[in-house]
A and B are shown apart, each in its own frame.
Chain A
Amino acid sequence: MRIQIERISKTFGNVRANVDVSLTIEEGTIHGVLGENGAGKTTLMKILSGYLQPDSGEILIDGHPVSLDSPADAIVHGIGMLHQDPLDVPALSVLDNFSLGLHKGFWHSKRRLRHQFYTLCRRFGVRLQPDERLSNLTVGERQQLELVRLLASGVRVIILDEPTTGISEQQKQVLFETLRRLSEEGMSVVFVSHKLDDVDALCSSASVLRSGRHVGEMSAPFDRDRLVELMFGRAVSAPVHPCSCGTRIALEARGLVVTSRLLELEPIDLSVCEGEVIGLAGLEGSGQRLLMEVCAGIRKPKAGKLLLDGKDVTHAGYRELQAFGVAYVPASRMEEGLVRGLSIREHFALGAHERHLMVDWDSAETKARAQIERFSVVGTPDTRVEELSGGNQQRALLSLLPDDLRLLMLDHPTRGLDLGSEIWVWEQLHERCRRGTVILFTSTDLDELVDNSDRLLVFSGGQVSNPVASAEVTREELGYMIGGVNL
């Protein structure tokens, strides 16, 4: 199937999300759609998959114009989309989720579905247990399930919107392998991303969007500098992290045993100086987040001691630690970080810890305006946080943090951000380090870990490595350590 997008335009209010976009996806190719946050990639893909209708322009399948009025319509035409967050039912089994929406009629033939499931999994090299509860699956595995489900519904063109966000390097490789098999079988894959590396590794051709317009087209092998220029309209390079470590020890863990229902880590001994950045590397779910939650007082350690500026805070709760200048920025912004339905102004009013009876709207307004300006959030104090784009939500979340922190923990601080925003976020964080804040962060991006931290802790299979100076480790070595190889 050959898909042609012809002069598509779409406007939301005053925002022109897509302007006259035309591009062609050939049969059997993996086509990348690149662009920074807010470039109009998702809108275009939602139009292609029937979730949105364009204001003008048309879509042609094998030369015939089609109208895609709903996602179901698009699937009938053979186009399916895998969303940024998989839509599924965590309480049901893998097989039940597979059959949802797929199965028509009243009676369920479990045996036939199971057979179909196995056949598809084998064909595309997907390893999933049909009887596993979905809530036990990782994001990457849920993606794979969603993919298999789309394939079962007869889709020939698969759109993936930022699929590598939030999955581990290993899972990414599995996903890429599956996608390559799909294209070998003559299916087309549209791969939406803002990550050059991924597009470079996977795609045979790529289109670049900027501010809603199609600004360029390229085939593999890609000229990366040229792609960056197309994406941002200028050349971008990441600054090298200047070490800002002091000599005073700010955070200390002594034989700290971190546990969850599923995992018990070996005791951790660690001394962190003022202004030091510690990267927590490892496959997702290896305990990095558990350590941060313990340091934030959200989770209690099983044993050991935690000291902050020499003070024993092992048993301090979250709010108590907040008063000491500890902050934790969760990875899921809209679930744990921001309150959907409240405006930016209301967030600042909520964060004001003075125990006044009445809300001081004037000071909340002033604070919100100042921080919006300082953090270049695209929005006004009245904007509700769910109306912000992903990158702006992260900016808003960071702008809510108090200025003087002793310990700042961030779970995937740049997840879903484009290169420009990523660099900007790290400039902000390093600025805090210069003022003595200790930073702990997780990432699945090896470059981000090595470039931005002073030392790394590697989490692998319940073990935590001794701190490694990031200047003395290569990405390859780090990759092996994450995979559990002792060097």
Chain B
Amino acid sequence: MTVRDLARKLGLGVIPFALAVVTSTVIILALGANPIEAFGNVIGGAYESWAKVADIAMAMVPLLLASAGMLITFAAGLWNIGVEGQMLAGALMTTWLVESIEGPAAVMLPLSVLAGVAGGALWGVLIGLLRVYGGVNEIFAGLGMNFVGSALTNYLIFGPWKPERGATMSGTDPFPLEVWMPMIGHTRASWLALLLAIVAIAVVFIILRDTQWGLVLKAIGLNPVAANRMGVNTNRHLMLALMACGALAGLGGSLQTTAIYHRLIPQITGGNGYLAQLVVLLSGLRAQWVPLVVLFFASVQVGSPRLELRMQLDSSLGGVLQGSVVLFYLLVNGVRQRLGARNR
């Protein structure tokens, strides 16, 4: 890599970030607050204690899993907006397991993971069926299924799975301790959940770089007709991609119940399915950058509530920062490609 390449790569990451900071600064100034103090609070809020670091780690888990899944579907050229629903399906399946059977942790934990994976995969397959055999664009199929998933969650919380003392927005009864993911010491971080997420992103990295399946997905994503002519069963691989993505996202949803909330609540996904789209875009569809981007997103997420506590600013300002980084990244990338194309 030459110095110029390196500079270009850095520019691609640093410029959008700087622009996003500028945008946020302008907004904070417009709100009449001190931007330096605000950024200080976000960073301070995120890293003030080990407990917060643990929170960041746990915020990374569902985002890593959903992003890992999305990398697969993006490689195959699919806009899998349905990740949110796939996470929900994983959470629902795990809750169903917990509601149905009891057992020791050694049985329940692996089963809960499997249930999450199966639920998400099934949801992915449904979207795949709609896309491949129903001729429904995966964006609409996924979006529709997200609404179905969210309505189903609410129905189950306020219906069959409602606590004995009555249904509330705070969800089902807490899960028995046997289905709590093991924690690191007295923190809220679960080493097992974190390990699963890290393994998932690593596996996806290897799949996309080195496996025959990864190459097949890439070919389908770039030119499905030609891939088909070369003997690739495109329909099957599109289904498999959605299924694999669903499995990972489902695991993410499942861990939200077993490692974080220890129950099923409405909006159990915390919007991570949508956030994952931004993560994957910002990482330039490259698995190796996803952990870094996820770390940034999770830090902002954990740090920004302090804006509200200390400065009476809305914590959604963090979201503005996240969103604008992605927008500027896409913008800088687009401009760069346009400049590059000009002298071709």
Contact = CB atoms under 8 A, between A and B. Distances in A.
Partners in one complex: yes
Interface in B189-224: 210-216, 218-219, 222-223
7 contacts: A335-B223, A335-B225, A335-B226, A351-B230, A358-B210, A358-B211, A359-B211
Q: For B210, B216, B219, B233, which residue has the most chain A Cβ atoms within 10 angstroms?
A: B219
Interface string A337-362: 11111100011011111011111000
Given A356-B212, A359-B211, A338 B231 contact: no
Nearest to A400: B230
A338 B231 CA distance: 12
Contacts of B344: 12
A115 to B, nearest CB: 38
Interface of B: 210-216, 218-219, 222-223, 225-233, 343-344
Nearest to B209: A359
A330 interface: yes
Interface string A303-321: 0000000000000001100
A351 to B, nearest CB: 6
Contacts of B223: 335, 338-341
A297 to B, nearest CB: 11
A403 interface: no
A328 interface: yes
B219 A339 contact: yes
A22 interface: no
A340 B226 CA distance: 9
B212 A339 contact: no
Interface residues of A, number: 29
Given A357-B212, A358-B212, A330 B229 contact: yes
Contact of A355 (B212, B214, B232): B212
B216 A350 contact: yes
Contacts of B211: 357-359
Interface of A: 12, 52-53, 318-319, 322, 328, 330, 335-342, 346-347, 349-353, 355-359, 400
A338 B228 CA distance: 10
B12 to A, nearest CB: 19
Contacts of A350: 215-216, 219, 227, 230, 232
Contact of A339 (B213, B214, B227, B343): B227
A430 B215 CA distance: 33
Given A349-B215, A400-B230, 20 more contacts: A12-B344, A52-B343, A53-B343, A318-B231, A319-B231, A319-B233, A335-B226, A336-B225, A337-B226, A339-B219, A339-B227, A342-B222, A346-B219, A350-B232, A351-B231, A357-B211, A357-B213, A358-B212, A359-B212, A359-B215
Contacts of A338: 223, 226
A444 B228 CA distance: 26
Nearest to A328: B229
A339 B231 contact: no
B226 A336 contact: yes
B219 A342 contact: yes
Q: For A319, A341, A350, which residue has the most chain B Cβ atoms within 10 angstroms?
A: A350
Contacts of B222: 339-342
A328 B213 CA distance: 23
A323 to B, nearest CB: 9
A342 B75 CA distance: 13
Nearest to A333: B226
Contact of A322 (B219, B226, B231): B231
Pairs of residues from A and B, 7 with the lowest C-beta to C-beta distance, nearest first: A339-B223, A341-B222, A339-B222, A336-B225, A339-B219, A339-B226, A322-B231
A330 B216 CA distance: 20
A355 B236 CA distance: 15
A341 B215 CA distance: 12
Contacts of A356: 212
Contacts of B214: 359
B235 to A, nearest CB: 11
B210 to A, nearest CB: 5
A109 B343 CA distance: 37
B91 to A, nearest CB: 31
A53 B344 CA distance: 10
Nearest to B220: A339
B233 A359 contact: no
Contacts of A336: 225-226, 229
B172 to A, nearest CB: 40
Q: For A356, A357, A358, which residue has the most chain B Cβ atoms within 10 angstroms?
A: A358
Contacts of A53: 343
A330 to B, nearest CB: 7
Contacts of B229: 328, 330, 336-337
A340 to B, nearest CB: 6
Nearest to B225: A336
Contacts of B219: 339, 342, 346, 350
A339 B75 CA distance: 14
Nearest to A346: B215
B214 to A, nearest CB: 8
A53 B343 CA distance: 8
